[in-house]
Amino acid sequence: MADFVSQYWNWFIAIPTTLGILGCAWLVLGNLTDKGGGSSSETTGHVWDTDLHEYNNPLPAWWLNLFLITIVWGLIYLALYPGLGSFPGILDWTSKGRYEAEMAQAEEAYGPLFARYAATDLAVLADDKEAMRSAERLYASYCSTCHGSDARGAVGFPNLRDGLWAWGGEPDTIKATILNGRNGVMPAWALPLGGDDAVADVAEYVISLTGRKAETARLKSGQEKFQTFCVACHGPDGTGNTAFGAPNLTDAVWLYGGSREAIRASIADGRQGQMPAHGEFLGEDKVHLLAAYVLSLNP
């Protein structure tokens, strides 16, 4: 609430909130007196079906008391906690502060356990069933959204169980990937290649690298263009390069789909893939445990 880019929003919240509470108080106070006066009953003058009168009786006391309690509670809450624009409240409570306090408690309780795991070699830790149960919960919280609850990935998100690694599958490399993240960039080649027809030629050659049936008439042109434009990243034989995160094109595993249309789209328009860095908010100890879990998925 204290991070408004303009004081307008501060008053936009504070003024309507204050007026709303005052309006509720006015409504309650206006109904505190018995307008009936003694034993007689006052009507509003509205009559239906000749003898059906609308009476102007006061509100029940229990209803008014509950309304008053609600108003008082609202005033106390807004005095103690943030709710009136940029006013932080007497207690100076913030969701960020609460989160940091809970994280500090968790670190105090579980920090020694993660530190013990971090001191264990990744390959050894991957065989520790108790550690992997903890790691599985970490994975479910931080990784399953992209890679799936079964770690088999989705379109644009790699399968973590197939033993195929764009950046390398060594234990320390997997840890570095989780810790620092990765940025995979496949440039758009439609313009450099010379248009859709040339893209189709290269796509057919790439398809042929996996042993699939390709359009023979396009293979020679596609191979020539591949050796000119694609070899720097994917290698002369199309097996990729882990230094660049360039995938192997011969294994029939496609991150963005292996249909002709998907392959042509990847070549023509390029791809932008990002694995966010998890080191800053998870810490190296938890990343170490997650890396061991990923290793355990590939026995």
Please write the tens of the pLDDT for every residue from 277-294: 999 989 999 999 999 999
- Cβ-contact 295, 122 below 8 angstroms: yes
- Least trusted range by pLDDT, from 45-49, 137-141, 190-194: 45-49
Q: Is the pTM of this model over 0.85?
A: no
Please report where in the chains the tokens 């990744």 appear, as a residue: 122
Average pLDDT over residues 20-27: 91
- Least trusted range by pLDDT, from 53-62, 204-213, 284-293: 53-62
Average pLDDT over residues 4-28: 87
CATH 1.10.760.10 range(s) for the chain read 102-181+276-296, 184-275
Average pLDDT over residues 139-152: 96
Structure tokens at 13: 């919240």
Could you tell me which CATH class the domain 102-181+276-296 is placed in? mainly alpha
Q: For the segment 146-205, what is each residue's pLDDT rounded down to a tens digit?
A: 999 999 999 999 999 999 999 999 999 999 999 999 999 999 999 999 999 999 999 999
Q: Is the pLDDT of residue 39 over 60?
A: no
- Residues contacting 179, CB < 8 A, separation 6+: 277, 278, 279, 284, 287
Fold of 184-275: Cytochrome Bc1 Complex; Chain D, domain 2 (1.10.760)
Nearest to 165 by CA among 262, 271, 255: 255
Tell me the C-alpha to C-alpha distance, in Å, between residue 291 and each of 140, 172, 175, 180: 14, 8, 5, 12
Structure tokens at 187: 């440039």
Nearest to 228 by CA among 204, 202, 247: 202
d(CA 234, CA 188): 15
